[in-house]
Amino acid sequence: MIAEARAAEAAIIDGRAFADTLGERIARQVGDFAAQTGRAPGLAVVLVGTDPASEIYVRSKGRMARKLGMESFEHVLPASVSQAELMALVARLNADEAVDGILVQLPLPGDLDSLAVIEAIDPSKDVDGLHPVNAGYLASGLPGLVSCTPLGCLMLLQDSLGDLSGLDAIVVGRSILVGKPMAQLLLGANCTVTMAHSRTRDLAAKVGRADIVVAAVGSAEMIRGEWIKPGATVIDVGTSRVIRDGRTCLVGDVDFAGASQRARAITPVPGGVGPMTIMTLMHNTLIAAYRRTGLSAPKID
């Protein structure tokens, strides 16, 4: 949803408002699922260690699941847990019929092997969309579970722009969490996609040609406002803490003030992509529940 823009400035893409509306639709479908099956969709979140930011994030996921009528199963393990113990928990969750979605909070501490854990999750319960099977489905244009943040970005873009066909898009960042699945989603929406990264030559020129800019590099204000093509739509996935005038501030990967003078629409940080990540996790959990039960998954985006 786009808030009213001030004169000569980009419209603000309000991720919180869109997430709230999406949540209402998900809650209705959760009720329909429970009426048909006699149970609520179940989400299991696994947290290893005591990272404060991860603890807050896990709690917020549990609260949202319960708010929407889902079951929430939270498993908190010490940072000293062994790889074998963590894999055993994943195996138990795979076998638990009350669990439709499994999310292991990343990054994992110490020497724990994140890839091995991701690969151990049943792809039908991989609501983070990171299992190679789901990544392969996405690349092949087949239905699977899609990584939450890119899915939220696509929803915001389609809400803002409608049909994306034929638009030039650039994704800055190539992680498996955001960059790579984002590029695949944009290709699926018939955009012409450029993938950029830390070794891209003349990044400013490439950004300047794009109708859609998705920034996901994790580098504070790396993308300058003057790079943005006039009339472009900017989705800023990054979140960095910087000190300004003695205060800690949250900023994105894009110079918001500068980009706002050129873009048609832009996501703020915070309040843009962030709220969508949790809500698309709920979306994926509901879709997984329907598919695992053999029911036709509803269209709720």
Q: State yes or no: is 61 an active-site residue.
A: yes
Q: State yes or no: is 128 an active-site residue.
A: yes
Burial class (CB in 10 A: 0-12, 13-18, 19+), 246: exposed
Nearest CA among 71, 103, 53, 63 for reference residue 284: 103
CB 42 within 8 A of CB 289: yes
CB 183 within 8 A of CB 171: yes
CA angle 275, 281, 285 (to 5 degrees): 150
Round to whole Å and give the CA distance between 126 and 154: 19
Q: Provide the 3-class DSSP secondary structure of residue 60.
A: helix
Q: Token pair for residue 159?
A: 């809400």
Per the listing, tokens 């053999």 go with 294
Catalytic one among 100, 122, 126, 128?
A: 128
Catalytic one among 29, 61, 122, 180?
A: 61
Catalytic one among 29, 100, 105, 211?
A: 105
Q: Provide the 3-class DSSP secondary structure of residue 98.
A: coil
Torsion, Cα of 277, 278, 283, 286 (10° steps): 150
Spell out the alpha helix ranges (H) of the chain: 15-37, 52-67, 83-95, 114-120, 132-140, 148-161, 179-188, 203-208, 256-260, 274-293
Task: Please identify every residue annotated as catalytic.
Answer: 61, 105, 128
